[in-house]
Amino acid sequence: MNGRPVPDPLLCVCGQPMHLKTSRYGPFYSCTTWPDCDGTAALHDDGSLKSTPATAVTKAARIGAHKAFDKLWKEGLMSRSKAYRALAEHLGLKKRDTHIGYFTEEQCDQVLQFVSLMVMEEEHYQRNGPDPTM
Ligand SMILES: [Zn+2]
């Protein structure tokens, strides 16, 4: 399984149950109170949860956090697995729980803080070279 199993019932962030819908991008879970609530959850091809239920605002925060985080390894600052390891450590999470698709808005803010910290450290290193005490 690529992601978390879908609980039965799957509850939205608003507390209401969610049901399976199909968009042109494939199946996803939607809040049964839509359009009052815009909560959705994405699925992997194997039917497991790719993201936990979230409102459009939280989803936007996750997308922003993911973009910032991916830059770390896409621009070669560190390897992808090192970036995830460091992020897990920064957030106090297990590596298997470190999926931005599961994050709250608060955790997304922490991802952004983590990314600027990593970038600052790298700039410091570029300017000053390796720390002689390390
Ligand atoms: Zn809802």
Average pLDDT of the residues of the chain: 94
The whole-number pLDDT of residue 134 equals: 56
Q: Centre a 10 Å sphere on the Cβ of residue 106 and count the other Cβ atoms it contains.
A: 9
The whole-number pLDDT of residue 133 equals: 63
* Model confidence at 132: pLDDT above 80: no
CA of 90 to the centre of ligand 1 (A): 30
Straight-line distance from the first to the last Cα atom of the chain, in angstroms, rounded to the nearest whole number: 40
Do 49 and 93 touch, CB atoms closer than 8 A?
A: no
- β-strand 40-42 against 26-31: which pairing, if any? antiparallel
- Indicate the pLDDT class of residue 86, thresholds 50, 70 and 90: very high
Percent of the chain beyond pLDDT 70?
Answer: 97
CA 54, 55, 58, 63 dihedral sign is: positive
**What's the pTM?**
0.86
- Indicate the pLDDT class of residue 54, thresholds 50, 70 and 90: very high
* Model confidence at 13: pLDDT above 90: yes
CA of 38 to the centre of ligand 1 (A): 6
The token duo for 125 is 């290193």
CA 8, 11, 15, 21 dihedral sign is: negative
Percent of the chain beyond pLDDT 90?
Answer: 84
Residues near ligand 1 ion, CB 5 Å cutoff = 12, 14, 16, 31, 37, 39
CA of 98 to the centre of ligand 1 (A): 24
